[in-house]
Amino acid sequence: MFRTLLIANRGEIACRVIRTARKMGIATVGVYSDADSGAAHVAMADKAVRLGPPPARESYLRADLILGAAKETGADAIHPGYGFLSENAEFAESCAAAGVVFVGPPPDAIRAMGLKDRAKALMAKAGVAVVPGYLGDDQSLGTLTAEAEKIGYPVLIKAVAGGGGKGMRKVDGAQDFAAALESAQREAKSSFGDDRVLIEKYVTRPRHIEVQVFADNHGGAVHLFERDCSLQRRHQKVIEEAPAPGMPPKMRAAMGEAAVKAAKAVGYSGAGTVEFIADASEGLKADRFWFMEMNTRLQVEHPVTEAITGFDLVEWQLRVAWGEELPAKQKDIAIHGHAVEARLYAEDPANGFLPSIGTLERLSLPDDLRVDSGVREGDTVTPFYDPMIAKVIAHDATREGAARKLAGALARAKIAGLRTNNAFLIRALGSQDFLAGEIDTGFIDRHLKDLVPPHAPDDAILSAAARFVADDRPQTDDPWDARDGFRVNGASAQTVRFTAGAGRLGGAVPPGIEVLRLRNGDIAAMRAGETFVLHPYDPFESAEGAGVAADRIATPMPGKIIQILVKPGERVKKGQPLAVLEAMKMEHTLSAPADSTVESVDVAAGDQVNDGTVVVRFAKEAAA
């Protein structure tokens, strides 16, 4: 077996690979950018090597630096994780040329499946049904527009390279096509270095179901059943489960057979995922699913497959890469119970799931379930990488049991310092439609009002925060520091005011609530998996800030200005796009909060900006 394994990745997947390597007696090497110098995966690895500055293109995407680190540390194998260089055929070839084993499929298989258009053409030739669409080389606006009209709206624009929802746009009508295409191409170019796209028919009630496949270098190929990844926002998965709810045995067999056929068609080796789209408008049926793409790597959601099969997929990867046969035959692989995984992100569901950056001043996750995480309390979520905090996985005899177990565990989590989707996940897992298996990729949009209700603190939260503020004041002999609320010519004050309301003093903090003062002076009150951030009321600050939201648009996080869409003097409508910001590997559109007139544009396309940078100012009369 390998002596030393270098993990060419970061975060939770690097930690995950290190755990299995350690179990197998393999020494590990971590790599890191300057932003990750104190990261968990660096601390876990036996050795660690600096790659470069925070931007991925200057660190984790530098194949030469990674191979240099392998040579420096004597690593005889490299595990790429997922993302970054995991599906880069040239990197796999460079590893071989350097005498280092790439823990992944052969370069030719990566190339065959790495571009979605070529993969679909190959699968159609192999007899695997594919989604109707346009896969041609002509990428001109005229041709793509005409092909979209032929397919019929709604259509889906997808980058031919990469995944993770980047370079993907749903288009409902011809009037939106050109702008959506430009945005998708720009995001694809930024993420994958390739701006080519394909167009496919958008299935109106789609279920995203994928099959885990594995192949060795001795002709063996198996599947480890399916995962349902239909709960998505912005085309990125949020909750995954295995097996797929409501899957008929005949369809499971057909889908597994198609996935193995796809792997064999490209001479596959190692772990891979064949992704299908299923039409759930009349329930799942064996003749109503189509090949979408194949990810030639381990998937983020692989833990649910491990949970229902009992196999360690990273161990399988390492054994196959070493030259061993698959650890199990198809007849030996069975489904045991049900598993559900929730992706806990640093993001704000109430603000379009916009990523959140900052320090995890409080991070307490359940210790009775599997938690895959690459961050610890005190770590910082930066704008340079994916904002995932952890994956939390529950396994039970039944689907409902697994979902309720996971929701209960998340309700015990305590997180403060940045915004997260934890409460959103709890509500999604407890939704009656979810528990009934009534899911598809439109689930979140349909239930958004229930999943993201108004986030207002109630009296218990306000009073808990008020008691904390009162008790947190320094105790001295100075009468001005007394906590009795004394007032001249008036009754004693019994409340503490916050910008969100007032909390009454008296009594102990209600049970189940934990209160913490954040570094910026705000108060975080945590209850049942939800965090409320309260800002102590300051009348002077309030007066100074009046009208700020109405007279300007500022960046919500650091990033790069990609486009400016308005100019001074232009009249804009509420919701009209003003600028596009690229941050955390995604594009974010900044829109007008109201009908206004643009007074000035304070940045230019290409500018690197910090959070809070004013992008557009509006005329004063429009803000009144």
Minimum mean pLDDT among 64-78, 493-507, 556-570, 603-617: which range?
493-507
Statement to judge: residues 40 and 62 lie in one domain: yes
> 278 and 410 share a domain?
yes
Confidence of residue 541 (pLDDT cuts 50, 70, 90): low
What digits encode the pLDDT tens for the residues 119-149?
888 888 878 888 888 988 899 999 999 999 9
Closest CA to 391 of 356, 421, 430: 421
10 Å CB burial of residue 154 (0-12, 13-18, 19+) is middle
pLDDT digits (tens, 9 = 90+) for 215-257: 999 999 999 999 999 999 877 899 999 999 999 999 999 999 9
Of 534, 547, 379, the C-alpha closest to 469 is: 534
> pLDDT tens digits for 52-108?
999 999 999 999 999 999 999 999 999 999 999 999 999 999 999 999 999 999 999
Question: Residue 84's domain is classified under what CATH number?
Answer: 3.40.50.20
**Model pLDDT for residues 309-355, shown as the tens digit of each residue:** 999 999 999 999 999 999 999 999 999 999 999 999 999 999 889 88
Query: Of 409, 425, 451, which residue is a domain's last?
Result: 451
On whether residue 111 sits in a domain, the answer given is no
**Residue 576 is part of a domain; what is its CATH number?**
2.40.50.100
Q: Does residue 152 lie in a domain region? A: yes
Sign of CA dihedral 189, 194, 199, 202: negative
Query: Does residue 109 form part of some domain?
Result: no
Average pLDDT over residues 190-202: 86
Residue type, 218: H
Going by the DSSP 8-state scheme, the letter that residue 450 receives in this structure is H
Q: Does 589 score more than 90 pLDDT?
A: no
Q: Is 319 a catalytic residue?
A: no
* Residues 309 and 226: beta-carbon distance below 8 Å: no
In a domain, 619, yes or no: yes
Number of domains in the chain: 5
Q: Interhelix angle for 422-430 vs 399-411, to 10°? A: 150
User: Is residue 116 domain-resident?
Assistant: no
Rounded percentage of the chain residues whose pLDDT exceeds 70: 93
Indicate whether 211 and 189 sit together in one domain: no
End-to-end CA distance of the chain: 71
* Gap between the Cα atoms of 539 and 210, Å rounded: 55
Domain at 353, CATH number: 3.30.470.20
**C-alpha to C-alpha distance for 557 and 582, rounded to whole angstroms:** 10
Domain boundary among 430, 451, 472: 451
CATH of the domain at 187: 3.30.1490.20
Same domain flag for 528 and 619 = no
Phi, psi of 306 (to 5 degrees): -60, -40
Q: Nearest 5°: phi and psi at 328?
A: -150, 150
Q: CA gyration radius for the chain?
A: 26
* pLDDT, tens digit (0-9, with 9 covering 90-100), for 384-434: 898 999 999 999 999 999 999 999 999 999 999 999 999 999 999 999 999
581/434 same-domain check = no
Among residues 85, 103, 121, which one ends one of the domains?
103
Say yes or no: 493 and 562 in one domain.
Answer: no
Q: Please give the pLDDT value at position 493.
A: 55
Q: Which residue has the tokens 């934890």?
A: 422
Domain span at residue 190 reads 132-201
Determine whether 263 is exposed, middle or buried from the number of CB atoms within 10 Å of its CB (0-12, 13-18, 19+): buried
Q: Return the number of other C-beta atoms located less than 10 Å from residue 582's C-beta.
A: 17
pLDDT > 80? residue 174: yes
Let me know whether 195 and 218 are in one domain: no
Place of tokens 């903090």: 509
Catalytic choice (252, 297, 362, 527): 297
Nearest to 246 by CA among 205, 292, 297: 205
Structure tokens at 558: 């650091």
Q: Mean pLDDT score of the chain, rounded to an integer?
A: 90
DSSP structural state of residue 99: T
Pair (23, 51) in one structural domain: yes
Does 321 or 593 have the greater pLDDT score?
A: 321
DSSP string for 41-56? HHHHSSEEEEEESSSG
Reported as type and span, the H/E element at residue 600 is strand 596-601
Are 264 and 367 contained in the same domain? yes
Residue showing tokens 């198809």: 330
pLDDT for 339 equals 98
**Which residue from 188, 130, 186 is spatially nearest to 159, judged by alpha carbons?**
188
Model confidence at 471: pLDDT above 90: no
Query: Residue 623 — very low, low, confident or very high, per pLDDT cuts 50/70/90?
Result: very low
- Mean pLDDT across 270-298: 91
Same domain, 487 and 598: no
Does 214 lie in the same domain as 328? yes
Q: What pLDDT is stored for residue 622 in this prediction?
A: 42
Q: What percent of the chain has pLDDT over 90?
A: 67
Residue 345 within a domain: yes
52 belongs to a structural domain:
yes
Same domain, 24 and 75: yes
Residue 126 resides in a domain: no
Query: Among 301-305, 414-418, 561-565, whose mean pLDDT is lowest?
Result: 561-565
Q: 59-70: b or e for each residue (b if 16 or more CB lie within 10 Å)?
A: bbbbbebbbebb
514 has pLDDT over 50: yes
Residue pLDDT, tens place only, 146-165: 999 999 999 999 998 866 67
Q: Phi/psi zone of residue 323: left (φ > 0), alpha (ψ -120 to 50 degrees), beta?
A: left
